[in-house]
Structure 1
């Protein structure tokens, strides 16, 4: 993956940031008008040539900029109209009916209609055969009843459909004209969505997007965007200070809390902070037999969470996540002596170097992290290394580049401990846990092997009653706590820093597509 070169980037900014020009919203001449440009940092290559709405192949930020969802995320299980103005859930969660807004168009001028929705869902099902999404896994059929009405039928209760439809991928609506032959199996040709932007140009370093003249029923945004790939957190801060970047932060391009604190005191920038739903946490390799329940619990007891965060970390999930209540997540109390006693009760004795061991080996573990997306992880890892040393547990920190980190997490599994982040918003808590903590017939979960937790997740997925759902999640949270299946290290807010060029910035409410481009104003 290519790294940013300042001189080239400055040239790109000059090339794609023309002076302010008059703007007319008429769709027939919008693209001929010059518009101001802004530059947004992202952590990975855009890969706009692969921006199929039903895929996972491009940078997350691009999906939200080009495609729109049927429904939008509110908070704690509340959903708002998107391309669908209303919907009904029938037959106990086995049938969904969506009524589309009138007058919505894709960027090629074609109508956003029921047939386009049917095409998108069927293509997503075809392209993602191993998915855990209920919308695709349980789908029996989808019908375009008329121009603006779509009916979806499911083989079993599917209580996550709205949550899945509002996310950035793989269910945002695309035009059938995006693929060869308008066939669900056709080769992807170009990204045609109804969102605020159209892909204008893309390289390994940047993706330039211009306004979609048909967006918002012919009331497009008045600026273009360049998403600039900058892998290193410190480089992102420097790019902001040099004027090469106008927006950093959030899941798009985190910078350290220390850098944000410095920028708060500089009147050249504005810091924006919004409540978030993401948690950062420490996870364990389920294939490491030394990391059994008592050892995991001892590790949690030995970590001083108050030094990791200025928030009280009561459990894996933030308080504003659905199903979390004041009392259903238990906080462990920092107690190094209790941690040592627990390890000794498991037969471990201290060796001459001050670390615990038994006949099966020493408590020496590799902790894998990355700093491209989460630059603050290095400092947190060092604090945990110091804490666990006091408890007789040795930690070796391994900092991987972004690509290698994800290869370790999903493929090679060459880690003992690993930092990861929860999903966000409507994908919490069920979809996140189901994708990483659920055992299948073929393999255990990515981050655990716990049959009781798997059964609870299965029970939830079959339940339409809200009261029963809450009861099940009370038990799920208790299980995660009792077994120390994940140790929270931070509850993240959504923080962004903007240059003077940004006159108005508003959070969209969706972490993976965080910028409300409709509300964004550019000087």
Structure 2
């Protein structure tokens, strides 16, 4: 009797366990833990998934690495990491790169990834005029398929950032030949985004939302989330309200910036968590080097001394980020404690330098003058992409007034601002930012401190600096390259070629039900999406 009773007890336990497991499993056989839930992410602009050609600049930049992999990836301080290429070799002359490709990889539509697919993708951007800003595009002369998993790229110059450029989020990532029509044609018309990345597109509604689901063929760490919804919310304050109401689970970074003034309110909300990390972008002032006021290095140094960056960070930016030292943050490759020099806040030193340069307040109106000309300059900015620039420029206006320089603020529409910076050059002072992550420091220096296509340098023109930039870009020896960058950074500091202002942080706000949050390594891979999961 006891044995029979024991049998029914054991049978009941087994049936109970089966019932529990069945309830915790979806119809597709995936447990709730494996499913990981769905995540809604705020984005500031239309993701543009109908135009997300891997060889284009269209759509949300953060979406590219979610869908498309690259041959190599960008790691901390610029370390190059394996991705679709497991290893590579560079010829002694620095002109030939041999990549050994990962085996067993498929695109999200099931088509095979191989050397022919890589060649197809590279041909879509190689030597195309719209990609002339990428040296790898201009210099790539020949693509040689050695075998199905080995490919050689032959360049016509020695240029050390080749590997770094191949980590860019676009336009260099690998897309399936079946993503265009006719299929396999490098000049074919883009049809739909098909990559080897962890996510693939389920649906897209313009200016409203895009939905990403797991790529069942993904070769790497499988995402825990089953779905990510990218919800378009252009207004920053509306994004904050959406976080507070639970309409979105995550916002922040470059894809959907959070206003600094909203952080104290968010901090008090128990449902939300703020995550912060160092960024790789800097804000700085550009001098118009054709302006007679700025020809004298003492004037440029005086302006550096006159700006109270610490007060700016503490009082205007909520203590988020850091006052800048040199032009680049310490997260940027080749930037060290020794070479990242800056000017401290010193009003008396600023006044002393201005007086040495012959500027005095002869009529007692509080504005310095020289040879009958008052020291009045304009400062251009925009506040659409960077709303914090307005209060920053107002603070600079006040700081420079203390040393006798009158600054007239000039707020521009976004398009007019970029025209002023790149085309018209009608400004006297203008606030700008460095590039971020894999574009620093080489791409930024070449883009703003070097002549290009016969046009003068944008930020500052100096023959010695341009020669140093040329030399560092063609140097394959790491030790020698560091020495040249040391010279470059010291020259920019010594000649006060700009006014470094602020090192922003990357900020993400996440609903407390979202677990596993980790920052990614770049602003275009801002989150390790595959680690996230959502609790009920």
* TM-score (normalised: structure 2): 0.85
**Is structure 2 residue 256 aligned with structure 1 residue 249?**
no
Q: Pick from 464, 470, 473 the counterpart of residue 461 of structure 1.
A: 473
Which residue in 1 is equivalent to 2:308?
Answer: 304
Q: CA deviation at 1:285?
A: 3.3
1:65-102: CA deviations, max 9, x gaps? 22112112222232211111111122242111111111
Which residue matches 1:61? 62
Matched, 1:271 2:283: no
Deviation readout 1:348-368 (Å, 9 max, x if unpaired): 343554223445954333323
Q: Is the 8 A contact 2:451 2:457 kept in 1?
A: yes
Q: In structure 2, how many angstroms separate the alpha carbons of the residues matched to 1:66 and 1:408?
A: 35
Of 467-476 and 481-490, the range deviating more from structure 2: 481-490
Residue of structure 2 equivalent to 1:190? 192
Offset at residue 344 of structure 1 (A): 3.6
SS at match of 2:500: strand
For residue 114 of structure 1, report the CA deviation from its aligned partner.
1.2
Q: Of residues 356, 367, 374 in structure 1, which corresponds to 2:379?
A: 367
- Aligned equivalent of 1:227, options 225, 230, 235: 230
Greater Cα offset, 157-166 or 126-135: 126-135
1:89 aligns with 2:90: yes
**1:211-360 map, 5 Å:** 211-216=214-219, 219=222, 222-292=225-295, 293-309=297-313, 311=322, 313-350=324-361, 353-358=365-370
Residue matched to 2:152: 151
Larger Rg: 2
Q: Does the CA contact (< 8 Å) of 2:305 and 2:347 recur in 1? A: yes
SS in structure 2 opposite 1:291?
Answer: helix
User: How many corresponding residue pairs?
Assistant: 498
Contact 1:43 1:373 in 2 (8 A): no
Deviation (angstroms), 1:475:
0.7
Aligned-pair CA distance for 1:412: 4.1
Question: Over aligned residue pairs, what C-alpha RMSD do you find?
Answer: 2.7
In the alignment, the residues of structure 2 paired with residue 289 and residue 47 of structure 1 have an alpha-carbon distance, to the nearest angstrom, of 45
CA 1:88/1:191 → structure 2, altered by over 3 Å: closer, same or farther? same
CA drift of 1:509 comes to: 0.8
Deviations 1:134-183 (A, max 9, x none): 32222121112111111111112121122111121121111222223232
Contact 1:301 1:332 in 2 (8 A): yes
Q: Distance in 2 between matches of 1:143 and 1:89?
A: 14
Give the Å deviation of 1:21. Answer: 8.7
Structure 1: 5+ residue runs without aligned partners?
A: 1-19, 27-32
**66-75 vs 432-441, greater mean Cα deviation:** 432-441
Larger mean Cα displacement after TM superposition, 136-145 or 41-50:
41-50
Q: Quick check: 1:103–1:217 contact (8 Å CA) kept in 2? A: no
Deviation at 1:477, TM superposition (A): 0.2
Contact 2:91 2:97 in 1 (8 A): yes
- State yes or no: 1:169 paired with 2:170: yes
Q: Give the Å deviation of 1:221.
A: 5.0
Determine the C-alpha separation between the residues in 1 that align with 2:411 and 2:27: 47
Q: CA 1:352 to 1:113, structure 2 compared with 1: closer, same or farther past 3 Å?
A: farther
SS of equivalent to 2:152: strand
Residues of 2 paired with 1:370 and 1:23: CA distance? Answer: 52
Q: What residue in structure 2 maps to residue 489 of structure 1?
A: 501
1:318-374 deviation line (CA, Å, top 9, x unaligned): 223221222112221222233233334334343554223445954333323333433
Q: 2: distance between equivalents of 1:294 and 1:495?
A: 37
Please, what TM-score do these two structures have when normalized by structure 1? 0.87
Equivalent residues in 2 for 1:104-123, closer than 5 Å: 104-123=105-124
Any conservation in 2 of the 1:233–1:371 contact (CA below 8 Å)?
no
Instruction: State the shift of 1:481 in Å.
Output: 0.7
Partner of 2:99: 98
